[in-house]
Structure 1
Amino acid sequence: MNKLLIALGLAASVALVGCNKQETPETGATTGEHLENAANQAGHDISDATKEAEAKTQAAADEASSKIEAAGDEAAAKTEAAAKDIKNAAKEATAKTAGAVEEGASNVREKAQQ
């Protein structure tokens, strides 16, 4: 009885494995043709990846150039504003110095007249 159960179990296992086995579809191409097609596809993939990398690099370079130009414009504007501030401060300092010199001269005249 045990032998019969073992035989039935083995037969069921073989049947299940045999039913699940699927054959790969045949494309009609030889191994060489498959390899050639794979190589062609790899070449196209590399070409596409290179073009994409080139486009991204160009976009990054354009963006960097724009940012550098904007920073240069901003620096020029700030330099011009600082120059105006320095010019105004120099005018004020000159005016104060002239005022102090005139006041000092006036004080000297008053003392001389006394």
Structure 2
Amino acid sequence: MNKLLVALGLAATVALVGCSKEKAPETGATTGEHLENAASQATQDIQNATDNAASETQAAADNAAAKIDAATDEAAAKTEAAAHDVKEATKDATAHAAAAVEQGAADVKEKAQQ
């Protein structure tokens, strides 16, 4: 008896579920029209994706060019500063060398006079 009630309950459930399904509303378009609309939409999507990719590529190229310019300017400034430092160090070394030579000459002269 329990099996019979379970079977009737399942049958009633299936019947109710089956009856409650609604069909999708009909658009009135033919299959060809649906395919044509899908193709048009795909074409638009591809064009949008292409335009977006081109825009992003251009932005990336502009960004890279700006960074390269900034790096070049920075390298030039650092090179100029380094050249200035080398020039100053050379002056200092020359001055020290000249002072050492003068001191050496003075020492030699002093010893010669003794």
Q: TM-score, normalised by structure 2?
A: 0.86
How far does the alpha carbon of each residue in 1:81-112 deviate from its partner, in whole angstroms, 9 at most, with x for none?
11110000000000000001111111111122
Match of 2:45 in 1: 45
Please give the alpha-carbon distance, in whole angstroms, between the structure 1 residues aligned to 2:7 and 2:108. Answer: 135
Corresponding pairs, count: 113
Counterpart in 2 of 1:79?
79
Q: Distance in 1 between matches of 2:58 and 2:28?
A: 44
1:102 and 1:12, CA in 2 relative to 1: closer, same or farther beyond 3 A?
same
Query: Runs (4+) of structure 1 moved beyond 2 Å?
Result: 4-15
Q: What's the CA shift string for 1:32-59, capped at 9, x where partnerless? A: 1101110110010011011111111111
CA shift for structure 1 position 6: 8.0
Report the Cα distance in structure 2 between the residues aligned to 1:107 and 1:79, rounded to whole angstroms. Answer: 41
| Greater CA drift, 24-33 or 5-14 | 5-14
**Is 1:35 the equivalent of 2:35?**
yes
What is the CA distance between 1:7 and its match in structure 2?
8.8
The alignment partner of 1:76 has SS state of helix
1:19 offset after TM fit, Å? 2.6
| SS of match in other structure, 1:25 | coil
Q: What TM-score does the superposition give when structure 1 sets the normalisation length?
A: 0.86
**Structure 2 CA distance, aligned partners of 1:55 and 1:28?**
39
Closer/same/farther in 2, CA of residues 22 and 111 from structure 1, 3 Å limit: same
Distance 1:30 1:17 in 2: 30
In structure 2, list runs of 5 or more residues that go unmatched.
none
Q: 1:64 to 1:6 in 2, by over 3 A?
A: closer
**Hey, what's the Cα distance between the residues in 2 that align with 1:80 and 1:109?**
43
RMSD after superposition: 2.2
